[in-house]
């Protein structure tokens, strides 16, 4: 199904709905996180376009009723000239589409999309910050300067009176100098999750404690911390196993080499590579682990684990601590602390009843805490109505 022209698309009351143009660097990222937003916008009567680097997910995006528009822009490149060229191309696309609202996803999408919206003369913008990546994780002077520069840029020339902000945790709002309670700010439960698509399954036999880490294999995800912690806990007598599911991201400079991942596959640690069955991986585990070093929005891996009724081991960084409350849905440890994570693993390995209670609490948190797809899409549609 191809969407109707923007002038023809109307809501149930017969009024024309604003044309929403999503700007996102990679089609796989949109397909894995944001299809429900596009589907809900189309169902509400909005013409929807998704402007992205098209690779293997055009059909999945188009199935929502959105138009897919290709834009080649390498997200790993920090070259200002390349970004400027992409912004110029994007501005021409936005004008041709007659977009009313530009919904920019992730940091590069905000920088390029915001500049393009400015060039195209489109004041209604949604800046959806899905985390700051390495810039958010770094605590040195370079990280501080980079965050300051981003705040001055996003809150300066790229901001209009009709700019609205979507955050996945309140910490990122404050980082940009915004009050999380401001009417210009909406904090949502990440990309949201459908609990019916991620049913809680019975826990496998225990012992050993089976720990699953499902993520892109990046240093920033703390994969090495998890490996060191598991090896340390086992050396101290804990009966547990750690399974790593995911592949390195070739467009990300923080990707862990395949050789390193293969070398880690020993002493109770197994790297399984990429998987199309995350639900199955979680069903075979008691606990999900993501010892992120920071820069997260709200990791989808944690939403999937919580919806699946699995206790969570994670770190005290923005996004992760937004979903998980220490001692309730799981255990929170400092980032980059294998000893603390090993102790948390050992604690759960010794207490299967606690693991079960935390898993049940995690699923309840998703359903009642605003982390479902339905809750997230309602918030986004209210935002579009406000801008329209």
DSSP string covering 293-319, please?
A: -S--SS-HHHHHHHHTT-EEEEESSTT
Q: Distance between CA atoms of 112 and 114, rounded to whole angstroms?
A: 6
- Pair type for strands 101-105 and 67-70: unpaired
- CA-CA-CA-CA dihedral for 213, 324, 187, 222, to nearest 10: -40
Dihedral pair phi/psi, residue 51, rounded to 5°: -105, 120
Dihedral pair phi/psi, residue 26, rounded to 5°: -125, 135
| pLDDT of res. 300 | 97
Q: Distance between CA atoms of 251 and 39, rounded to whole angstroms?
A: 28
DSSP string covering 218-258, please?
A: BGGGTHHHHHHHHHHHHHTT--EEEEEE----TT-TTBPPH
| pLDDT of res. 16 | 82
Instruction: Find all residues with CB under 8 Å of 13, minimum gap 6, and list them.
Output: none
pLDDT tens, N- to C-terminus, the chain (388 residues)? 344 443 345 555 567 899 999 999 999 999 999 999 999 999 999 999 999 999 999 999 999 999 999 998 665 555 666 678 899 999 999 999 999 999 999 999 999 999 999 999 999 999 999 998 777 777 788 888 988 999 999 999 999 999 999 999 999 999 999 999 999 999 999 999 999 999 999 999 999 999 999 999 999 999 999 999 999 999 999 999 999 999 998 778 889 999 999 999 998 999 999 999 999 999 999 999 999 999 999 999 999 999 999 999 999 999 999 999 999 999 999 999 999 999 999 999 999 999 999 999 999 999 999 999 999 999 999 999 999 8
The tokens of 285 are what?
Answer: 């585990």
What is the CA angle 106-54-192, rounded to 5? Answer: 40
Domains in the chain (CATH in brackets) are: 20-192+372-387 (3.40.50.2000), 195-368 (3.40.50.2000)
Where do the DSSP E strands lie in 64-162? Answer: 67-70, 101-105, 125-129
Q: Distance between CA atoms of 297 and 161, rounded to whole angstroms?
A: 24
Q: Is the peptide bond before 207 cis (omega within 30 degrees of 0)?
A: yes
The tokens of 18 are what?
Answer: 């604003």
Q: Distance between CA atoms of 319 and 304, rounded to whole angstroms?
A: 14
The tokens of 186 are what?
Answer: 């909406």
Q: Distance between CA atoms of 20 and 45, rounded to whole angstroms?
A: 10
């Amino acid at each position: 199904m191809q969407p109707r022209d923007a002038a023809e698309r109307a809501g149930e009351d017969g009024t024309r709905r604003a044309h929403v143009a999503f700007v996102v660097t990679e089609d796989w990222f949109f397909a894995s996180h944001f299809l429900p937003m596009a589907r809900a916008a189309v169902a509400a009567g909005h013409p929807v376009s998704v402007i992205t680097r098209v690779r293997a997910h055009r059909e999945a995006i188009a199935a929502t009723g959105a138009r897919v528009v290709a834009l080649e822009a390498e997200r790993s490149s920090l070259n200002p000239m390349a970004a400027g060229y992409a912004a110029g191309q994007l501005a021409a696309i936005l004008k041709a589409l007659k977009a009313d609202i530009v919904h920019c996803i992730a940091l590069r999408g905000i920088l390029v999309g915001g500049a393009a919206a400015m060039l195209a003369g489109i004041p209604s913008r949604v800046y959806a910050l899905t985390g700051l990546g390495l810039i958010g994780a770094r605590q040195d002077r370079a990280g501080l300067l980079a965050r300051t520069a981003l705040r001055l840029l996003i809150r300066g020339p790229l901001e209009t009176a009709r700019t609205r902000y979507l955050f996945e945790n309140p910490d990122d709002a404050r980082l940009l100098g915004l009050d999380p309670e401001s009417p210009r700010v909406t904090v949502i439960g990440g990309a949201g999750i459908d609990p019916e698509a991620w049913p809680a399954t019975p826990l496998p036999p225990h012992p050993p404690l089976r720990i699953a880490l499902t993520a892109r294999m990046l240093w920033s995800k703390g994969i090495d911390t998890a490996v060191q912690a598991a090896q340390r806990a086992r050396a101290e007598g804990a009966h547990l196993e750690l399974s790593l599911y995911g592949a390195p991201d070739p467009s990300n400079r923080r990707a862990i080499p395949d050789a390193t991942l293969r070398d880690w596959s020993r002493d109770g640690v197994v790297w399984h590579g990429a998987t199309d069955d995350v639900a199955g991986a979680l069903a075979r585990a008691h606990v999900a682990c993501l010892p992120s070093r920071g820069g997260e929005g709200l990791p989808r891996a944690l939403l999937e684990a919580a919806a699946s009724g699995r206790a969570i081991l994670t770190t005290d960084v923005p996004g992760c601590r937004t979903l998980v409350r220490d001692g309730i849905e799981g255990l929170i440890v400092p980032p980059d602390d294998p000893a603390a994570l090993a102790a948390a693993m050992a604690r759960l390995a010794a207490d299967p009843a606690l693991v079960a209670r935390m898993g049940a609490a995690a699923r309840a948190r998703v359903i009642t805490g605003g982390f479902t797809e339905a809750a997230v899409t309602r918030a986004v549609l209210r935002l579009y109505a406000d801008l329209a």
